[in-house]
Amino acid sequence: MTATSPDRPVVALSGVRKFFGAVRALDGVTISIRPGECVGLVGHNGAGKSTLVNLVNGGMAPTEGDIEYDLPADASVSGQAAARAAGVRSVFQELSLCPNLTVLENLRIPQHDLGGTGWRAVARARIAEALDAVFPGHTIDPGGTVGDLTLAERQMVEIAIGFSEGDTPARLVILDEPTSSLDASIAAQLLDHVKRFCKAGGAVIFISHLLGEVFTVSSRIVVMKDGKITEDRAAGGFTRRQLVDAMGHVATDEEEKKDRPKVVRRTELGAEILSSPEGIRAREGEIVGLAGLAGHGQAEALARLYMARSSGWYAARSPKVVFVAGDRVRDGLMPLWSIRANASLATLRALTRLGLIDRGGEEQLAADWKARIGIRTDDVANPILSLSGGNQQKVLFARALASDAPVVVMDDPMRGVDIGTKHEVYEMIRAEAAKGRTFLWYSTETEETCLCDRVFVFRNKAISAELTGDQITEQNILAASFEMQEEHA
Amino acid sequence: MIAINARTLLPVVSLVLLLGAVFYLQPRAMSYFGINLLFNLAVPIALATIAQMMIIMVNDIDLSVGTFVSFAACVTASFVHDTPVLGYAILAGAVVVYAGLGALIQLRQLPAIVVTLGMSFVWGGLAVLILPSPGGSSPDWLRGLMTSKPPVLPMAIVASLLIAVVTHVVIMRSAFGVLLRGVGGNARTVVRSGWSVVWLKASAYGLAGLFGVLSGMTLVGLTTSADANIALRYTLLSIAGVILGGGEFTGGRVSPIGAVIGALTLTLAGSFLSFLRLSPDWQIGAQGAILILVLAARLVISRGPST
Amino acid sequence: MSALSIVMRPWFWAFVAAALAFAGTLALMEGRAGLGLLVAAMTFASFSVFVGLGQMFVITLGPGNVDLSIPATMTLAGTLSLKYMNTVPGTELAGLAVALGIGLGAGAANFALIRLLRIPPIIATLSASFLYQSLAIWSNRGLRIKPPPSLAEFTTERTLGIPNVALMAIILAVVFWVLLERSIYGRWLSSVGQNLRAARLSGVPVDAVRAATYIISAVMAAFCGFLLSCFSGGAALNMGTEYLLMSIAVVVIGGSSIAGGNSNVPGIWAGALFMFLIVSMLNSYGLGAGVRLIMTGVIIIAIVAAASGKRRGQ
């Protein structure tokens, strides 16, 4: 089997870099994980946690650097197969089971050795044993269809598959936000199991936004920021406040300060023009920020808000609300079109005479916005995909701002945008707000959220804090994003 | 949970209801020969439905089932009857072509509708070349098999049971079937676990080809001759059978037993409509209506508990 | 427009292929009857153009959108309108209205199934088509009613040397070109086909666009069925059969993207001419129906396979 010397790290990364185009997702990471360790991995959005996980489990290859697994010397596998052979298992944040299969059938997908006659009995025994070990007292039937299970039960199954016995025993289990759908008592069972597993010589990488959990379970805590590991200490070496500080921008505060735009918050705002079932409220001319860790319900809240105020059957000449997409490919771009056609999409009704598009008017609009927002192109007839990401984003801003809609919804629109563009856009948003427009701005960058007049912090699909005025600080936003359980001191 | 149970019961309930109605209208049908007559063409329809199910299982749809079964029937009635070795080689080659189409569709990310629609012309053209006019004859063993009279239950029922059990074992019980359904359920996870989706899709299409061939052969065994248009309506029948049997268009949710029951129900619906003295004009429309009704009923059932 | 930009158009090669097929046929006929072949090609291509234009709009809506009810709608519209006119002169316009009304109803029914029952468009239009087909069989009862003489003449005669049906197909192609390239509907249609979610988030009324598109396709099918049954002296129950693959084939051959969002009108004419001429070429070389069918299928698959993968990269 693969088990070799107990002191050799299960996986060792040295000088690993990973680039996506020009974006440095991981910038020189060196870390090794030894048997018996539980490594708590924390960091804010975009710090590089997911990229690190995908490199460790072989899902991606590093751009630079080495990843070494603890394998017998004669093993000739690489990438995903090497990770599998070394006993690396991943439990992903987004659920990755096949809902049409039963619990025991889902075990069959990752476990290649299951087959032949009687494989079901083996699979049933393995998954039942793992479920019993991790979640004693659970009521999940291995023969039940996954689609019929609750979200929490599916997450339990996924975790159990990660810890289950197989042809290669689990030696390193990566848990990415494993408790996001579990209630407190079930989560506690998992934490106990992780401790037992590590005591017996297994290793775990534990990622969670619940710092209490991280402190409870980890033997070592690694803090990531901007694609680098900034802190790597035994869990006892941190207090929670220190950990939150370590994730923030404290270290580089001085040098960045001069780059930051001045925040001039307006004091006189108009009447309240918007309130959503989640509790988001906004007044005329206000810039309202939505903050918190990615995937905690902000984007969904914005999409619902937009859908409720627009129709699939009728396009008004003056829309009530416009949307600026951040996930450009999924929510914004028309990849086959020119810059001009992309920019005019939301205002077409106003540019139409007798059903035909006023091409002169459209040209005018595109030229105006090219100048106003500084889209770097010689000709607005060029394809949208000829632009850089930042300039594509400017086109999406132009699409929304060209309308006279009183409410502008922005879903993390600065993703992958360079700093120069950001500052231009910030100023434009300020200027538009001063004219009385209301902005709803979800951002994964705390620095941006700090530019808002009011901030709603989301945690677990609900608003966990509403901050206004001087309360809007990185400290307060981080504190409200991460749950602080005092009892786990 | 209630929705799921109602859903799995739907095909059984509709078959039983329809059978009850037929027996009520025509009590004499309640006999060995009566049942054999009612379900006469059930076997090839059930096999074609299973073929369609293999494709739907991997989130595609096959619009060439009808012409492919006609093609297989023409080959059976001519080559298999006259020169068996060549005949079986052609049929085996057709299965390989099917598997290759599955691989091509996955590799080049082609729309399965257009590819299978194009293939429907290829199979149709081949069938016309093989049998320009209706004719041919069934191999004797096949004729003997399809018209044999096993004790207790008629051949149509025995064969349907056999098809249901075999495909249930392959698709629902075997470790390989789990992978095939996994492709429909969450292809990303299957890839992430180190499997080749191209190979799995080719397998699913290959199985579809195999069952299409079996459908054409059994059809010739029953009708003793073939023509290029003999099974054109099987395309709709097979889709309807899969859906009637509880399958869904996406997500790898299929049921071989349900599909066979669905095929039996559709066969019986044809007999039922003729008992009602409904003009044969409406047969095809009734099948379309049944498909729409089942989908509507299913929508009501699946919406019920959540609201 | 420079020569190069014409060559770069997606429909250019389809016209080249059609011209080659024309030359191939003429070569065998030793140059005789070239005009006759051209007139026949324009006439028969016109029927493919009618259904192809509608199908093109549906395919532009994006992956999974295909109207499989075109043949049945053609048959139903042809049968019922001829039955209504009952060969009586003076009923022509009312008959046309009946046909177009049937198209409107069929399109609305198709979209209602797609939207209300949340059925994939393929299944919705396929199962609905069997209802339309049954309706046509039931109303027809094997009778072959002749069209009013005026219509029979109109559809078979020529004006200024161009067949009347071809004139109408050219006019409609221009109308569809304006719709697609210059109108707000065409812009919206293309946006839905490229990215439905992004279109909805940009204020495009996606449901209205989809409904209109399925209705346009069915109305075009009904119009085609009306003209075709007048042209061929009566409605036949299988008259629509070959137009299902044909409608998809002309879209694909014409260089429109099967993945949606990117279509062009000239390609429909090019594809329609090519499909007729390739068949007449194979015919003139003495190849039978079987080979023609096989070639048709293989050409479609080859074109789809060659054209695929272009849009996936980004």
User: CA Rg, chain A, in Å?
Assistant: 25
Query: In angstroms, rounded to a whole number, what is the distance separating the alpha carbons of residues A104 and A122?
Result: 9
Q: How many other β-carbons are positioned within 10 Å of the β-carbon of residue A383?
A: 14
A49: tokens are 């946690």
Average pLDDT on A13-22 reads 83
**Burial class of residue C17 in the structure, from the number of CB atoms within 10 Å of its CB (0-12 exposed, 13-18 middle, 19+ buried):** buried
Question: What part of A 358-377 touches C (C-beta under 8 Å)?
Answer: 359
Are A334 and C194 an interchain contact pair (Cβ–Cβ within 8 Å)? Answer: yes
Average pLDDT, chain C: 87
Q: Is the dihedral of CA A235, A241, A244, A248 positive or negative?
A: negative
User: Would you say C273 and C41 are in contact if contact means Cβ atoms under 8 Å apart?
Assistant: yes
Nearest to A98 among B173, B176, B252 (CB): B252
pLDDT at position C179 = 95
From the CA atom positions of chain B, what is the Rg in Å? 19
Q: Could you state, in order of their start, the residue ranges of all structural domains in chain B?
A: 15-297
Handedness of CA C53, C55, C58, C63 (dihedral sign): negative
What local confidence, expressed as pLDDT, does residue B260 receive?
94
Separation of alpha carbons B25 and B23, rounded Å: 5
Helix (H, G, I), strand (E, B) or coil at C9: coil
Q: Does residue A2 have a pLDDT over 60?
A: no
Q: Measured between alpha carbons, how far is residue C212 from residues A5, B136, C28 in Å?
A: 69, 49, 46
User: Distance (Å, rounded) from C-alpha C84 to C-alpha A249?
Assistant: 80
CB pair distance less than 8 Å for B285 and C129:
no
> pLDDT tens digits, residue range A301-320?
888 889 888 888 888 888 88
Q: What's the pLDDT score for residue C98?
A: 94
Query: For B168-282, where are the alpha helices, taking DSSP H only?
Result: 175-192, 197-223, 234-244, 256-275
- Of chain A, the percentage scoring pLDDT greater than 90 comes to 30
For the segment C9-37, the average pLDDT, to the nearest whole number, is 79
Look at residue B285 in the predicted model and tell me its pLDDT: 81
Which chain B residue shows the shortest CA-CA distance from C242?
B121
Q: Does the pLDDT value for residue A259 go beyond 80?
A: no
Q: Give the Cβ contact number of residue A155 at 10 Å.
A: 24
Distance (Å, rounded) from C-alpha B295 to C-alpha C118? 9
Find, among A244, A295, A207, A224, the residue nearest to A24 by Cα: A224
Chain A residues with CB-CB distance to B195 below 8 A: 109
What's residue A323's pLDDT?
Answer: 93
Name residue, tokens 């620095």. A447
Cα distance between residue C221 and residue C126, in whole Å: 15
Please report the pLDDT score of residue B2 as a whole number: 41
Q: Which of A4, A34, A29, A30 is nearest to A19 (CA)?
A: A29
* Dist. CA C301–CA A448, nearest whole Å: 51
Half-sphere exposure of C310 (CA within 13 A, CB side): 16
In whole numbers, what is the pLDDT of chain A averaged over residues? 84
Q: What's the complex ipTM?
A: 0.86
Give the model's pLDDT for residue A488: 39
Q: Which of B4, B176, B193 sits opposite A110 (nearest CB)?
A: B193
pLDDT-based confidence at residue A77 (cuts at 50, 70, 90): confident
Which range scores top for mean pLDDT: A36-50, A460-474, B75-89?
Answer: B75-89
Please tell me which chains touch C, using 3 or more CB pairs under 8 Å as the contact test.
A, B
* pLDDT computed for residue C312 by the predictor: 38
The pair of three-digit structure tokens given for residue A329, joined into one six-digit string: 């490919």
Nearest alpha-carbon partner for B139 in B243, B223, B249, B234: B223
A119 touches chain C (CB under 8 A): no
The helix (run of H) or strand (run of E) holding residue C6 is helix C3-8
Residue B259 is encoded by which pair of tokens?
Answer: 């599909």
For testing contact with chain C, the best of A356, A365, A384 (most C CBs within 10 A): A356
A308 and C CB contact within 8 Å: no
- pLDDT one-digit tens code per residue, A206-231: 988 778 888 889 999 999 888 888 88
Rg (CA), chain C: 19
What are the tens digits of pLDDT across the range C132-166? 988 888 887 767 788 888 888 888 888 888 899 99
For the entire predicted model, the pTM comes to 0.81
Q: How open is the CA angle B280-B284-B286, to the nearest 5 degrees? A: 90
Identity of the residue numbered B130: I
Considering only residues 18 to 37 of chain A, which have any Cβ-Cβ distance to chain C shorter than 8 Å?
A: none
Chain B / chain C CB contacts < 8 angstroms? 134
Q: Does the pLDDT of residue A255 top 50, yes or no?
A: no
Residue B306: predicted pLDDT: 40
A257 band by pLDDT with thresholds 50, 70 and 90: very low
Q: How far apart are alpha carbons A145 and A70 in whole angstroms?
A: 36
Pairing status of strand A281-283 against strand A272-275: antiparallel
Distance of CA A179 to the CA centre of its chain: 16
Neighbours of chain A (3+ CB pairs under 8 A): B, C
Tokens in use for A330? 């999924």
DSSP C146: P
Which two tokens mark C167?
């004139």
Question: Given a cut of 90, is residue A474 above it in pLDDT?
Answer: no
Q: Which of A247-261, A271-285, C136-150, C277-291 has the lowest mean pLDDT?
A: A247-261
3-class DSSP state of C161: coil
* Residues B176 and B68 sit within 8 Å (Cβ to Cβ): no
Give the residue from chain A lying closest to C192, CA to CA: A334
pLDDT of residue A279: 85
Task: Kindly report the three-state secondary structure assignment for every residue of chain A.
Answer: CCCCCCCCCCEEEEEEEEEECCEEEEEEEEEEECCCCEEEEECCCCCCHHHHHHHHCCCCCCCEEEEEECCCCCCCCCHHHHHHHCCEEEECCCCCCCCCCEHHHHHHCCCCCCCCCCHHHHHHHHHHHHHHHHCCCCCCCCCCEHHHCCHHHHHHHHHHHHHCCCCCCCCEEEEECCCCCCCHHHHHHHHHHHHHHHHCCCEEEEECCEHHHHHHHCCEEEEEECCEEEEEEEHHHCCHHHHHHHHCCHHHHHHHHCCCCCCCCCCCCCCEEEECCCCCEEECCCEEEEECCCCCCHHHHHHHHHHHCCCCCCCCCCCCEEEECCCHHHHHCCCCCEHHHHHHHHHHHHHEECCEECHHHHHHHHHHHHHHHCCCCCCCCCEHHHCCHHHHHHHHHHHHHCCCCCEEEEECCCCCCCHHHHHHHHHHHHHHHHCCCEEEEECCCHHHHCCCCEEEEEECCEEEEEEEHHHCCHHHHHHHHCECCHHHC
The topology (CATH level 3) of C11-21+33-305 is ABC transporter involved in vitamin B12 uptake, BtuC (1.10.3470)
Query: Encoding tokens for residue C27?
Result: 């070569």
Q: Do A337 and C204 count as a contact with CB atoms less than 8 A apart?
A: no
Instruction: Report CB contact under 8 Å: A97, B175.
Output: no
**Is A35 in contact with A171 (CB distance < 8 Å)?**
yes
How far from each other are the two terminal CA atoms of chain C, in whole angstroms?
A: 28
> Is C204's Cβ below 8 Å from some Cβ in A?
yes
Helices C34-60/C206-231 angle, 10° precision = 160
Would you place residue A27 in the very low, low, confident or very high pLDDT band (cuts 50, 70, 90)?
confident
pLDDT digit string, tens, across residues C80-131: 999 888 888 888 899 999 999 999 999 999 999 999 888 888 888 988 998 9
Percent of chain C past pLDDT 70, that is, above it, reads: 94
What are the angstrom distances between the C-alpha of A221 and each of A481, B209, C177, C182, C244?
19, 56, 63, 60, 64
- Using the Cβ of B190 and the Cβ atoms of chain A, whether some distance falls under 8 Å is answered with yes
Q: Where are the domains of chain C?
A: 11-21+33-305
DSSP of C27-46: HHTTTTTHHHHHHHHHHHHH
Whole-number pLDDT of residue A267: 58
Amino acid at C24: G
Residue A100 sits at the chain B interface (C-beta within 8 Å): yes
Secondary structure (3-state) at B132: coil
- Report pLDDT digits (tens) over C23-34: 888 887 766 677
Alpha-carbon span A216 to A484, nearest angstrom: 12
pLDDT tens-digit profile of A361-394?
A: 999 999 999 888 888 888 899 999 888 777 888 8
The predicted model gives A342-364 an average pLDDT of 91
- The pLDDT value recorded for residue B307 is 35
All residue ranges of chain B with pLDDT < 50 are: 1-3, 305-307
d(CA A22, CA A388) in angstroms, rounded, equals 11
Q: What is the pLDDT of residue A328?
A: 84
Beta partners for residue A274, in sequence order: A282
Tokens of C221: 């099918």
